[in-house]
Structure 1
C-alpha cells in the first residue's frame, strides 16, 4: 500500500509545475515488484491527472493576472495556438514534458470545459504510463 501512495504522490507532484520524474519511480517500482503493474499504472494516471487539474485551476486564477494580448505575445504563444486550434483535444498531449504542463494551465486560463479537458488529460497520461510500464516490463 505504501508503494501506491508513493507513486500517487510522485505522479501528482510531477504534473504540477514542480519538476519530477514519476516515470523513473514507476520503472523502479516495477523492477522491485512487477506483479502490481496495473495498480501502479492506475494510481500514477489518477495522481498525474489530478496534478494536471491543479494546473488547470491555477490557469483559471491566472486569467485575472494576465490579459489575452499579453499571453498571445509571450512565451505561451505556441501552446496557446495549439489550444486555439484543437481545443480540449490538445490536452491529449498533456503528458509531454514542458508543453504538457503549459497546455493544462492554458486550458484553465481559456476556460475550456473541465470534464472534457479532464478526460483528455486522463487518456493522454494513462497511455503514457501504460507505455512506460510495458517497456519496463519487457526489458526487466
Structure 2
C-alpha cells in the first residue's frame, strides 16, 4: 500500500472511533524517513478531518439512533461532550484531536448544528497543530535537540 494512502486511511479511521493510531503511524513514517514530512502531515490532517466530518454527519443526521449499539459515541461520552459545549462553546472543536473526548465533540457539533465551515476551520486548526507538533518534535529529536 502506498505510504500516503496508508497514513490517510489510518488518520481517517482514527477520527471515527474505530481503532486507529494515526500519531504512531505518522511518527514511524517520519523516523523511518519513508516520505516527505510536510506531505505526511497534510495528508494525515486531511484524513483525520474527513473522519471528524463523518462524526459530524452522524450527529447531524443520525442522532435519533444514538442508543443503538453501533452508534460511534456512547451515551456517557455524548453527555460529557454536550457539557463541554455548554461550558466552552464551539471552540472546544480545537480539541477534537484529544483521545476519548475529541470524537464525541465532533458528533455533538453535528447534533447542535454547528455550521460546517466553522466546524472545518476549528477542527482543521486543532488537528493540523497536533500533527505538526508531532512532526516537529520528532525532527528535533532526530537532530539531537
Q: Distance in 2 between matches of 1:88 and 1:133?
A: 27
Give a deviation string over 1:21-65, Cα, whole Å, max 9, x none. Answer: 001111110112176111000000011000001011011133333
Q: Distance in 2 between matches of 1:66 and 1:52?
A: 17
Matched with 2:80 is 78
Task: Look up the SS of the partner of 2:114 in the other structure.
Answer: coil
Q: Distance in 2 between matches of 1:95 and 1:37?
A: 19
Matched with 1:62 is 62
Q: Distance in 2 between matches of 1:123 and 1:5?
A: 22
Is the deviation greater in 114-123 or in 77-86? 77-86
TM-score, normalized by length of structure 1?
0.88
CA, structure 1 residues 29+66, in 2 after alignment: closer, same or farther (shift >3 Å)? Answer: closer
Is 2:141 the partner of 1:139?
yes
How many residues of Structure 1 are paired with residues of Structure 2 in the alignment? Answer: 134
Task: Look up the SS of the partner of 1:64 in the other structure.
Answer: helix
Contact 1:34 1:137 in 2 (8 A): no
Is 2:13 the partner of 1:13?
yes
TM-score, normalized by length of structure 2?
0.85
Matched with 2:23 is 23
Q: Distance in 2 between matches of 1:47 and 1:87?
A: 25
Name structure 1 gaps, 5 residues minimum: 68-73
Runs of 4+ in 1 over 4 A off after TM superposition: none
Matched with 1:88 is 90
Q: CA offset at residue 2 of structure 1?
A: 1.6
Contact 1:13 1:19 in 2 (8 A): yes
Q: Distance in 2 between matches of 1:86 and 1:120?
A: 13
